[in-house]
Structure 1
Amino acid sequence: MESPLLSERSRVFDRADPYAVSTYVNQHVGVHNIRLPRYGHPEACLDHRKFASLDLCRISYGGEVRVMSPALENVFHLQILLRGHCLWRRGRAERLLGPGELLLINPDEPVDLAYSADCEKFILKLPNRLLENVCDEQRWQRPGEGVRFLQSHYQLLALEGFSGLLAMVCHEAEASEPLLRVQEHYSQIVASKMLTLMPTNVSREALTSQAVTFDRIAGYIEGNLKLDICSEQLARQASMSLRSLYALFERNAGTTPKIYIRQKKLERIHASLADPNCPVRSITELAMDYGFVHLGRFSENYKSLFGELPSDTLKRRS
């Protein structure tokens, strides 16, 4: 795959010891370990640029190598295969990636990759806070546990305009007189593009309009019950003060936004437990899907609303 993503102007290592390259990657791109065959003397190459809060990296180890990491902590990795092949593993699942394919790794996901001897990759590292800042600026709803991408593999050409955007970013990164403000602007565009092109747990529906009604807010809540929606976020989404939001709920629902949201979550769980056609692996897992982390309190609230424990509802479905 011919690629305009970084050039020799960004060269840090050329035909170097793979372990020296790995040490550098640990410092700048992501914590990992590599395993090399006992035979041969592979020579690694690395191009690297810091770009505002992003890191741009082009890497080849020059030999077969296995790259492993328990997790990437607070960063996302977007990896594009330029040459060769890479075997991705997660548990029992595995996939062989070829040139032009893209791998997206969330911060809490373990990494287990096996590179072919001729493998070359472009890696984009994004900090978690960049994606969160974009969500907040756009007034998109993100879960309390953080932004997560729901799909790991893509064909780069299927992501409209993304390849060209990365090429522009790399060109700007290698400019003779880089401008930080321009770099920050491009970084936000990259994060925004990823959040719109790739499936995530972020809801990009905004409530803002000239006249936000209770029905619109209630519909928004109903469509996003698995998200961690708090009153402050809901007020920002509706472009109204917190006091006005509370008054709207008092007039239309006779309760506070927090209690209303909790009740709707419980109603959805109750419907799932009562429906014999709805697969439920465990009550605990279902409760946590809707944000109930204190299971004792969840059971109390459930019984207060429906007069029985969740386990009783599940038993009655048969």
Structure 2
Amino acid sequence: MGGSSFRTRDVDEAREEIDARYYANFMDVIDAQKRPFAARFDTVGLGPLMIGDLSCGTDVRMRFGELGAFHINAPMSGTMELRQGAGGRRLVATAQDAVLLDPAGDTFLDRWSGDCRTLSVKVGAAALRDRLEQLLGRAPRGRLALGPGLDITRGPGLSWVTFARQVAYGALAGDGLATHELVARPLQEALLNGLLLAADHPWRDELARPGEPARPAPVKRAMDAVRARPEHPFTSTELAALARVSVRRLQESFREYVGMSPMAYVREVRLERVHAELRTGDPDGLSVTEVAWRWGFTHPGRFAAQYRARFGETPSRTLRG
């Protein structure tokens, strides 16, 4: 986990820091006469999360391409006016309501007010979906999309924002438990869990219901093995050996608790990894065939058909954005 306390009065330096810690961007000061530009970025990385306490000192605007990650802006003061995607509606982040941005769609920060100090959290899309899958005990059908707003004055939204700030401040101080390797991973999982419980999405009610049956240990062992190495040429026999049960028992358990066969689950995980890489890849420097091969798809025609059935578009269309 790496922390950074960054200060500058140079807009280009600030842009480069946001690029390094979050996303490629363009930044402009809206009214340089109003207040001097004075960026203050305190950031800390925690696995797939980047948590920052950010301010610019004067009104600025920014634009990004597709973020490729979920992003939460939760101001402690001031406002941020944002749009996302073609014809996207105006979103305003305030000290009462955070804004949650999607991995897809060009993103525009039309005004980041000079008095706005914000908690800014980048969350890896694949990590959040994997965490959802682990909590559900099965692969969620459909795309994970979070509601654009989050009440941060009470309830789960306030709790999550408070927790994220505490983790970041402890890590930046350098003397808290957040810096210890035995604590960092549980904190990471707690932040992902908390976001899934706080934000609006189709599976939130299911996650919030207590007493749901846990998936059997053999199923968990097989799923964990697949998520760790989805590109590996697994067979049903190998997965059964890893799960420590017979092939028939594993197949029956997967159909009951995951809703598909073990090998169908392998294919689903691989397709998700390909999709994530294509969405964030450079169309001029990345080949669909290369990505598919890297994640274990050796038959181009079959892969293309499976991809289109899963995501409703061709792999090349995803890569072109």
- TM-score (structure 1 length as normaliser): 0.58
Helix, strand or coil at the partner of 2:105 = coil
Code of the aligned partner of 2:73 = Q
* CA deviation map 1:233-259 (0-9, x unaligned): xx99xxx97634766999xxxxx968x
User: For residue 184 of structure 2, what is the aligned residue in structure 1?
Assistant: 183
Distance (whole Å) between structure 2 residues aligned to residue 247 and residue 39 of structure 1: 66
* 1:10-25 pair list within 5 angstroms: 11-14=5-8, 16-25=9-18
User: For residue 194 of structure 1, what is the aligned residue in structure 2?
Assistant: 195
Code of the aligned partner of 1:102 = A
1:94 to 75, 90, 95: 90
Distance (whole Å) between structure 1 residues aligned to residue 28 and residue 246 of structure 2: 56
> In the TM superposition, what is the alpha-carbon distance from 1:190 to its structure 2 partner?
0.4
Code of the aligned partner of 2:187 = Y
User: For residue 125 of structure 1, what is the aligned residue in structure 2?
Assistant: 122
* CA deviation map 1:17-45 (0-9, x unaligned): 12211111101112222222374342222
Q: 1:294 to 1:63 in 2, by over 3 A?
A: closer
Conservation of the 8 A alpha-carbon contact between 1:172 and 1:183: no
Distance (whole Å) between structure 1 residues aligned to residue 132 and residue 143 of structure 2: 11
Does 1:45 pair with 2:40?
yes
Distance (whole Å) between structure 2 residues aligned to residue 176 and residue 191 of structure 1: 22
Q: 1:201 to 1:146 in 2, by over 3 A?
A: same
User: For residue 135 of structure 2, what is the aligned residue in structure 1?
Assistant: 138
Number of residue pairs matched?
Answer: 227
> In the TM superposition, what is the alpha-carbon distance from 1:70 to its structure 2 partner?
1.9
Conservation of the 8 A alpha-carbon contact between 1:88 and 1:94: yes
Distance (whole Å) between structure 1 residues aligned to residue 313 and residue 126 of structure 2: 27
Conservation of the 8 A alpha-carbon contact between 1:101 and 1:153: yes
* CA deviation map 1:120-150 (0-9, x unaligned): 211112222322332343344444665331x
* CA deviation map 1:38-78 (0-9, x unaligned): 743422221122234422212112222112112112x2211
* CA deviation map 1:242-286 (0-9, x unaligned): 634766999xxxxx968xx9xxxxxxxxxxxxxxxxxxxxxxxxx
User: For residue 293 of structure 2, what is the aligned residue in structure 1?
Assistant: none
Q: 1:39 to 1:174 in 2, by over 3 A?
A: closer
Conservation of the 8 A alpha-carbon contact between 2:74 and 2:93: no
Conservation of the 8 A alpha-carbon contact between 1:140 and 1:202: no
Query: Percent identity among equivalent residues?
Result: 15
Helix, strand or coil at the partner of 1:157 = coil
Unpaired runs of 5+ in structure 1?
1-8, 211-231, 251-255, 262-287, 296-318
Does 1:60 pair with 2:69?
no
Code of the aligned partner of 2:25 = H
Distance (whole Å) between structure 1 residues aligned to residue 76 and residue 63 of structure 2: 20
Conservation of the 8 A alpha-carbon contact between 2:97 and 2:151: yes
Does 1:169 pair with 2:167?
yes
Distance (whole Å) between structure 2 residues aligned to residue 85 and residue 107 of structure 1: 21
Distance (whole Å) between structure 1 residues aligned to residue 53 and residue 254 of structure 2: 53
Distance (whole Å) between structure 2 residues aligned to residue 63 and residue 133 of structure 1: 38
User: For residue 103 of structure 1, what is the aligned residue in structure 2?
Assistant: 99
RMSD between aligned residues: 4.0
